[in-house]
């Protein structure tokens, strides 16, 4: 359905019903909620509808079947507030992410756009470590934020201190690209299913005739999930595990280790022990491919390479097929979960997993 057709349908629904929730429109139009919000932003800019928390409403001054005019003041009120003429509530949200140079700019971008669509203000800070993270959250709480979006420096599932800290925070919390532990209370999360991403990569490689597929990655918080997905995919696709001679881990910021693992990988390719590899992440996939080619390994003829994250994969020569986590959607859905929690503190705790996609290149 084209954007103009969706927008006409949204306006018609609002005129007929007075107010409609975003989720309802998404189901009726068979599109993602993010797409509906984008249409609603454009319609609100033209004055044809009013954005409300969780939905869209008819402008108060719009006469039945009459022309629409821009509105002010109640631009983001809940639908019942618009109907009753009450002053809208604008939520103040705080967001803390671990760094700003890789991966998280897109998450923040999605959160920012979603906050705007809900009429909320969003303050973003970069933590770098757990100590700074707690200090930044304390500063936001002191400033009076209504809710928090946090990408913790440590995994709540393996860090009891992090889990306990999250549990005692006095405002609603949604984790972005982190998963809650079993004792994190009402904290919610939106995260990528990295397990599914690994399966996507291996299924793609098998479809192209590869059968000896390795996984090479840094020791990050994502690594155990990719390993789990990789192991499950080996079983599901009837593949044999690679020989222990094939490298599986890399040290971060260690060029000597990269050279050693590359030389090891070259030997394994030439001996027929491996014909494809999933690399996490892009920042190491590019120099790895360059070193392989310098050693006479043809990519993808001798070794097919799929990288994970899809931040830099298009810059490789040749451009690399990559698994792309839904970074913007993670940020947007985290904001929506948080706003819904603020609107209804009694709603069930939600844990949302989003599937990545595979971008196939030469």
Q: Tens digit of pLDDT for each residue in 197-211? A: 999 999 999 999 999
pLDDT at residue 253, as a whole number? 85
The predicted structure's pLDDT at residue 53: 61
Q: What is the pTM of this model?
A: 0.77
- Report residues of the chain scoring pLDDT below 50: 61-88
Q: What is the largest CA-CA distance in the chain?
A: 77
List pLDDT tens digits, range 64-91: 444 333 333 333 444 444 444 444 467 9
244 burial class (0-12, 13-18, 19+ CB within 10 angstroms)? Answer: exposed
pLDDT of residue 126: 95
Q: What is the pLDDT of residue 68?
A: 36
- Model pLDDT, residue 60: 60
Q: What is the pLDDT of residue 89?
A: 61
Cα gap 120→39, rounded to integer Å: 18
């Amino acid at each position: 359905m084209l954007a103009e057709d969706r927008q006409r349908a949204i306006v018609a629904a609002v005129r007929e019903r007075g107010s409609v929730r975003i989720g309802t429109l998404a189901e009726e139009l068979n599109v993602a909620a993010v797409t509906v919000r984008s249409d609603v932003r454009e319609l609100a800019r033209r004055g044809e509808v009013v954005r409300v928390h969780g939905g869209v409403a008819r402008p108060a001054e719009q006469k039945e079947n009459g022309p629409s005019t821009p509105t002010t003041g109640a631009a983001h009120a809940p639908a019942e507030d618009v109907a009753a003429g009450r002053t809208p509530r604008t939520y103040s949200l705080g967001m803390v992410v671990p760094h700003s140079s890789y991966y998280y700019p897109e998450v923040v971008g999605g959160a920012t756009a979603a906050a705007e669509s809900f009429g909320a203000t969003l303050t973003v800070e970069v933590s770098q470590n757990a100590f700074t993270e707690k200090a930044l959250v304390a500063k936001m709480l002191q400033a009076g934020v209504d809710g928090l979006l946090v990408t913790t420096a440590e995994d709540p599932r393996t860090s009891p201190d992090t889990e306990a800290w999250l549990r005692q925070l006095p405002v609603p919390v949604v984790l972005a690209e982190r998963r809650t532990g079993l004792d994190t209370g009402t904290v919610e999360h939106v995260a990528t299913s990295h397990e599914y991403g690994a399966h996507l990569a291996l299924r793609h490689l098998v479809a192209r005739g590869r059968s000896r597929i390795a996984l090479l990655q840094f020791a990050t918080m994502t690594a155990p999930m990719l390993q789990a997905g990789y192991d499950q995919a080996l079983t599901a696709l009837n593949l044999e595990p690679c020989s222990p001679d094939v490298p599986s881990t890399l040290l971060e910021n260690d060029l000597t280790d990269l050279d050693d693992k590359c030389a090891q990988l070259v030997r394994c390719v030439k001996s027929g022990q491996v014909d494809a590899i999933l690399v996490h992440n892009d920042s190491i996939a590019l120099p790895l491919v360059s070193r392989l080619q310098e050693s006479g390994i043809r990519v993808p003829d001798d070794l097919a390479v799929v990288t994970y994250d899809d931040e830099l994969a298009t810059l490789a020569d040749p451009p690399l097929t990559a698994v792309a986590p839904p970074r913007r959607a993670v940020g947007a859905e985290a904001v929506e979960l948080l706003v819904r929690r603020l609107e209804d503190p009694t709603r069930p705790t939600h844990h949302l997993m989003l599937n990545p996609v595979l971008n196939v290149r030469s």
